[in-house]
Structure 1
Amino acid sequence: MAIYLEMPELDKEFPFRILVNDGDILTTPHWHREVELIYVTKGTISLGIDDVPYKLSEGEIAFIGGGLIHYVLASPGSERLVYQFDLNYFTAGNKENLDLQKMFADLIPVSPQWKPEDEAAVRSLLENMNHEALDQRTGYQFSLKAELFALITRLLRTIPKKAKQSKKLNKLATQDVLEKLDGIFSYVEAHYQEEVTLQDIAEVSGYSSFYFTKFFKKNTGKTFLTFLNEYRIDKAKWLLINSDLPVSEIITQTGFESDKTFYRLFKGSMAMAPLEYRNTMKIE
């Protein structure tokens, strides 16, 4: 799975699913266009959303808008339900012309920071959806859709906004563009520890270097070199919070040829040194 893009396999007729993950399942930093909610049903989990670490206990919820980078650390003894749905299904013909991706990205993402009655209401909706999905009684999909509309309304109307806007909100492209980007990102995932040239990645995409440069900038908002450096930095961040490797080894493992370049890019991205980031982001 590429660090940046995950493409959940959802039913095209009804793009929604519920997964059960135990605490041994960790997810490296990734994003997807689908909205995701994580409901902790057992124990405690540690996760990060938009470079902010959180710890959630049984009964608590994380809400992750489409396009936000997030991860879940290994949390032994825990269990969580993961709800994913494609917002486009529910906004077709939306006359309010709301930018729901932006609105959702700016909401406070964890339920301990919501009002207790809002946390309880969202928890009830999630539990009802899970029961409907498990029982699959006649008309269960109608019930699921009704619960999802109620959930979206509740989130929009009652969940407070963050004091600071999200730093990284990945553009939600069309399905064919996402599939093309997925191939590009997957190649980077397999080769980021090596030298990756513009010509290499253009050949993988099936475009000329000139057309690839235009395609990539148009659909990601950044040059490929900027993306590659950010990708390697994000890999380094993951190793900093999920391992005890020395920084010198992390630099080698993430494909940077120069320590100076790594430190410059890391500080430019996070406004702090790598070890300071490790101490800040690790959740005890």
Structure 2
Amino acid sequence: MRKVISFQIPKSNKEFVRFQVDAGKHFYDKLHQHPQWQLTLILKGKGHLMVGDYLGRFEPGDMFLFSSNIPHVFRSDSEYFDQESEKESLGHTLFFDFEALGKKFIEVEEFVELQHWIYQTKGCFSINGDAKNAIANKMSFFSEQKGLNKMLISFEILKVLMESKDLALLNTLIPSIDYTETEGKRIGQVMSFILAQSQQEIHLQDVAEVANLSKEAFCRFFKARTGKTYTEFLNQVRIHQACELLQESEFPISEIAYQSGFQNLSYFNRVFKKVKGVSPMKFREMGISRNK
């Protein structure tokens, strides 16, 4: 029997929705999955969101929806792990447990549309526009709700999600089987190592040793669980870091390439354009024009 990644939402089996505040230096940094659906609003903190074959940045104001049993992790940036830093992380999350409604749930006529949406909606989504604003407003006073009011607001939020055109699917790789605890721990350690060391030169052998696998076995393992090769993943991490430096600093592009872990400027330019669709210079200019 495969033992999946161990992670329990602190709620009773009879509770349909749970509101949770995640406050501290950094977010929970282990790859995990759970049967409950998750809706998270980031209020403080920055870092990488990793889910399936998706790797992207999160920052204050971002909102994400995860369907059931999608392995994911909000990996805060390194400065949030520095005990001397004043950086803080804060997120508000709703966990929806549709199984708590019971088997008769699918037989209730009024819930047919919701049940169909639940069945069709798989993966991780970013929520934008009017939908995000409407949901964030409801989440701002959700902790005060109890009983029937809590249930009614929950379904109002679900209705917004169902009817919204502002949900963007982030991952294309949907796991066909659950991660075992061993696999979850291994891929989590690998991702943490890459994120921590990405500004340095990293050899394939070094990462394979973190996973306790041969180079060949590691490459197969990593591609099967992320949908990316090790090099593609590493380059994407470095490009995300370069994007932040391009937007938040005045360093020359050659210096940004080096600080992001690229030893060759022409290679950096090629990879950047492949990932972002524009050159580093154009990306910086676009950011400047948006901020004016």
* Amino acid aligned to 1:231: V
Find the aligned partners of 1:119 and 1:65 in 2 and give their Cα distance. Answer: 14
Q: 1:200 aligns with which of 202, 206, 211?
A: 206
2:261 equivalent in structure 1: 255
Q: 1:131 aligns with which of 133, 144, 155?
A: 144
Find the aligned partners of 1:38 and 1:256 in 2 and give their Cα distance. Answer: 30
Instruction: Using structure 2 for the length normalisation, give the TM-score.
Output: 0.61
- The answer as to whether partners of 1:213 and 1:223 remain within 8 angstroms in 2 is yes
1:110 equivalent in structure 2: 129
2:249 equivalent in structure 1: 243
Counterpart secondary structure, 1:17: strand
* Number of aligned residue pairs: 238
- The answer as to whether partners of 1:37 and 1:64 remain within 8 angstroms in 2 is yes
Structure 2 segments unaligned to the other structure (5+ residues) = 1-6, 13-17, 67-71, 78-88, 107-114
Cα distance, 1:10 vs structure 2: 7.1
1:77 equivalent in structure 2: none
- The answer as to whether partners of 2:257 and 2:265 remain within 8 angstroms in 1 is yes
Map 1:52-201; keep pairs closer than 5 Å: 62-66=62-66, 82-86=91-95, 89-90=97-98, 96=116, 98-102=119-123, 105=125, 109-111=128-130, 114=131, 119-120=133-134, 122-123=135-136, 125-132=138-145, 140=146, 146=151, 149-161=154-166, 166=169, 174=179, 176=181, 177-201=183-207
Compare 172-181 and 199-208 and name the one that shifted more.
172-181
* Amino acid aligned to 1:130: S
- Residue 265 (str. 1) matches residue 271 (str. 2): yes
- The answer as to whether partners of 1:17 and 1:85 remain within 8 angstroms in 2 is yes
- The answer as to whether partners of 2:223 and 2:229 remain within 8 angstroms in 1 is yes
Instruction: Give the direction of change, closer, same or farther, for the CA distance of 1:244–1:148 in structure 2 (3 Å limit).
Output: farther
Find the aligned partners of 2:223 and 2:206 in 1 and give their Cα distance. Answer: 17
Structure 1 segments unaligned to the other structure (5+ residues) = 1-8, 73-79, 133-139
State the Cα deviation string for residues 34-91 of structure 1 (Å, max 9, x = none): 5322579xxxx999999999x99xxxx753234699999xxxxxxx97322456x446
Percent identity at matched positions? 23
Find the aligned partners of 2:133 and 2:272 in 1 and give their Cα distance. Answer: 36
Counterpart secondary structure, 2:234: helix
- Residue 234 (str. 1) matches residue 240 (str. 2): yes
- The answer as to whether partners of 2:199 and 2:259 remain within 8 angstroms in 1 is yes
- Residue 35 (str. 1) matches residue 32 (str. 2): no
- The answer as to whether partners of 2:129 and 2:166 remain within 8 angstroms in 1 is no
